[in-house]
Amino acid sequence: MPLTTSAGRSPATPPAPRKMRRTGRGLRASALASMAACLALTLSGCAEVDTTAPSTVRAEGAHGAPARLGTVDCRHAKCIALTFDAGPSENSARLLDILKEKKVPATFFLLGKRHIDTYPELVRRMAAEGHEVASHTWDHKILTRISDEQIREELRRPNEEIARLTGHRPTLMRPPQGRTDADVHRICKELGLAEVLWSVTAKDYTTTDSALITRRVLDQASRDGIILLHDIYRGTVPAVPGIIDALKARGFVFVTVPQLLAPGRAEPGQVYRP
């Protein structure tokens, strides 16, 4: 079954058939605006999806051909991953300035239409400054509600654009609203993509209050956490310095998602969440 309820539908309403087409120009806006209910259900444990925790990946990776650990070994360090969805946007340059000043790497799950194609220089900068650049699909279509060919197109196009801009094809993706199923897993495997979910959400799509966003993240943060934020919203980027400083004071070390999994690595077709 899909990971969450679909946009604009109460939790009690059963989901529509998988292959139903979504029509109208309001898909992206309505999907983003309705994330609150969907993400709340995801994090409440109501979801039915097999996921693998970072600690499991690290343990398994220690017995195989290891990925590069880099400068942080999360088997011993108290690691946490900062991730941003749905950019780049007009706010991303300031966010990159903050991350550079704080010496914090992040993972960016980028949208294609009106984002990658509008801010290509920011995509290049993300990669050049050591961040992990990943996919959030081309147009934020709900993958569990479209055909297999449409899923492939939603995943293929941002991969090609990111590879063209950065020289590296993404290996990670995050499904819009966290909605995924066996068909999405299968197609991700075909395309060499692993799915990454999250354990911390500030619900920054519901508020412009940066202090509230900060409190929500700090209340949920724990070792191996994956923090979900959106640099497209006005209140989010101003909250980032306080989030970083407070978590560093608690002994957390910020890493990208691949660093969180090392010496293991994400496998295409698998879903990862703390």
For residue 21, pLDDT over 60 is answered with no
Closest to 111 (Cα-Cα) out of 141, 150, 144, 137: 137
DSSP summary character for residue 17: P
- Whether this prediction's pTM lies above 0.85 is answered by no
pLDDT grade for 63, boundaries at 50, 70 and 90: low
- Section 69-88 average pLDDT: 92
For a pLDDT cut of 90, what percent of the chain falls above it? Answer: 78
Assess whether the previous peptide bond of 88 is cis (omega < 30° from 0).
yes
Q: DSSP H helical segments within 88-128, as ranges?
A: 92-102, 120-128
What kind and span of H or E run contains 82? strand 79-85
Model pLDDT for residues 155-176, shown as the tens digit of each residue: 999 999 999 999 999 999 999 9
- How does DSSP assign 176-229, residue by residue? GGG---HHHHHHHHHTT-EEE--SEE--TTS---HHHHHHHHHHH--TTEEEEE
End-to-end CA distance of the chain: 20
Superfamily for the 27-268 domain:
Glycoside hydrolase/deacetylase (3.20.20.370)
Model pLDDT for residues 106-131, shown as the tens digit of each residue: 999 999 999 999 999 999 999 999 99
Tokens of 97: 């300035």
Model pLDDT for residues 217-245, shown as the tens digit of each residue: 999 999 999 999 999 999 999 999 999 99
Tokens of 143: 């993958």
- Cβ atoms of 5 and 39 within 8 Å: the answer is no
Residues serving a catalytic function are 85, 230
* All structural domains of the chain with their residue ranges: 27-268
Q: How much is the pLDDT for 62?
A: 63
User: Residue 52: how many CB atoms within 10 A of its CB?
Assistant: 18
Mean pLDDT estimate for the chain: 86
Distance CA 251, CA 263 (A): 21
pLDDT grade for 23, boundaries at 50, 70 and 90: very low
Distance CA 34, CA 8 (A): 6
